């Protein structure tokens, strides 16, 4: 899964990478968490700019249009690539409202000696990228409560991070992939829902402070030393075991 990520790319660099007119006045985020507002690239669906990519701030955790309240979004921060075209919560968005979510790293946890150790996954060249995503407009009661929300599509982990977690986000690295994901028909877009080349990414341990959503500073992305795993005790001489 993907439950935390970072997006610290400068607005101008983001504007150029995603071919949008503006990237808003975005502050760097080192610890983006579910239910928070995050920048998302979507295609305009109406008006003179229809079909043009724009940056929108959306709430992380997709809320289907039929939902009675936004609480359901907490359970829908990720969508499995294997079932996005089947699940009622995601199939409409997969067909008509695909988006890309700018990022430059994401976090996963692995239990080591009884302690959950976070790892940051990045491109080896440290360049920004995007997650494949889906978005929805939830109109709530229809009394001014309209809200745009998104989810991150996940797939099986590649060899670079499978030792940390068995799932990973669908990562997109170039403008042609961004365009294909957002513009192509569902069948062609589906060809992108695969683990990325393991040679393109790497994971390194970071401070456990990232587990607290109140922490959001540059120190979270610095690598830390992790003690070597303890070897099992050697049997004593004369032991039956």
DSSP of 102-141 = EESEEEEEEEETTEEEEEEEEETT---EEEEEEEEEE-TT
In this predicted structure, what is the pLDDT of residue 234? 46
What kind and span of H or E run contains 63? Answer: none
Residues forming the active site:
2, 108
CATH number of 5-105+126-198: 3.90.1680.10
Q: What is the pLDDT of residue 81?
A: 98
Give the H or E element holding residue 76: none
Partners of 203 in the beta sheet?
121
Task: Give the tens place of pLDDT for each residue, 63-84.
Answer: 999 898 899 999 999 999 999 9
Rounded-to-integer distance, Cα 201 and Cα 203, Å: 7
In tens, the pLDDT along 10-60 reads 988 999 999 998 777 889 999 999 999 999 999 988 877 788 999 999 999
Q: Band the pLDDT of 233: cuts 50, 70, 90.
A: very low
Nearest-5° Cα angle at 94, 180 to 21: 50
Q: Which pLDDT does position 1 carry in this prediction?
A: 75
Read off the pLDDT band of 144 (50, 70, 90): low
37-41, 185-189, 227-231: least confidently modelled range: 227-231
The pLDDT value recorded for residue 237 is 45
Question: Is the per-residue pLDDT at 163 higher than 80?
Answer: yes
The pair of three-digit structure tokens given for residue 152, joined into one six-digit string: 């991150």
């Amino acid at each position: 899964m993907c439950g935390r990520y970072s997006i610290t790319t400068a607005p101008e660099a983001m504007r150029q990478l995603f071919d949008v007119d503006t990237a808003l006045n975005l502050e760097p985020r080192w610890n983006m968490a579910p239910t928070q507002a995050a920048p998302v690239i979507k295609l305009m669906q109406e008006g003179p700019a229809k079909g043009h990519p724009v940056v929108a701030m959306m709430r992380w955790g997709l809320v289907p249009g039929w939902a009675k309240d936004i609480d359901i979004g907490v359970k829908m921060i990720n969508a499995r690539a294997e079932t996005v075209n089947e699940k009622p919560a995601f199939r409409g968005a997969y067909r008509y409202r695909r988006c890309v979510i700018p990022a430059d790293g994401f976090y996963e946890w692995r239990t080591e000696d009884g302690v959950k150790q976070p790892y940051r996954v990045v491109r080896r060249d440290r360049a920004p990228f995007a997650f494949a995503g889906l978005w929805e407009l939830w109109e709530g009661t229809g009394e001014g409560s309209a809200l745009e929300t998104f989810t991150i599509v996940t797939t099986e982990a590649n060899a670079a991070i499978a030792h940390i977690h068995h799932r990973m986000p669908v990562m997109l690295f170039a403008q042609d992939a961004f365009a294909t994901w957002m513009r192509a028909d569902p069948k062609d877009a589906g060809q992108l829902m695969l683990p990325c080349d393991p040679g393109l990414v790497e994971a390194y341990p970071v401070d456990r402070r990232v587990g607290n959503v109140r922490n959001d500073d540059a120190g979270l992305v610095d690598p830390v030393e992790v003690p070597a795993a303890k070897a099992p005790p050697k049997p004593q001489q004369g032991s039956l075991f």
